[in-house]
Amino acid sequence: MTQRLHLVFGGELVDPTQNVFKNVDDIHIVGMFPDYASAYSAWKTWAQKTVDNAHMRYYLAHIHRLRDEKAPASPTEELGS
């Protein structure tokens, strides 16, 4: 079975109309989740906790979409071999 990892994270943005964090060191990593449903639940919880701050945003990233195991390795990955 293919594992579909999801990352939930958030933080304060410089401008609510852009996706630029005010301070990358202050990004809140909620966690890594094994499926979309649990990640969505965590994202929703934290998004609702910070709804009164227009500069706060939480994101749900589909980590499994970042890597295709069937695609050839990048030159950077080949450095370790």
1 in a structural domain: no
User: How many structural domains are present in the chain?
Assistant: 1
pLDDT confidence of residue 42: 97
Please state the separation of Cα 43 from the chain's center in Å.
10
Residue 72 resides in a domain: yes
- CATH number of the domain at 67, please: 3.30.70.2400
10 domain-assigned = yes
Residue 35: how many CB atoms within 10 A of its CB? 12
Note down pLDDT in tens along the chain; length 81 residues: 667 899 999 999 999 999 999 999 999 999 999 999 999 999 999 999 999 999 999 999 988 777 666 666 556 555 554
Reference 57, options 67, 68, 46; nearest CA is 46
Give how far the C-alpha of residue 75 lies from the chain's centroid of Cα atoms, to the nearest Å.
25
What the block records as the tokens of 33 is 């989740």
Alpha helices in 6-72 (DSSP H): 36-49
Quick one: pLDDT at residue 73? 59
Cα–Cα separations (whole angstroms), residue 78 to 63, 73, 74: 21, 7, 7
Domain around 17: 6-78
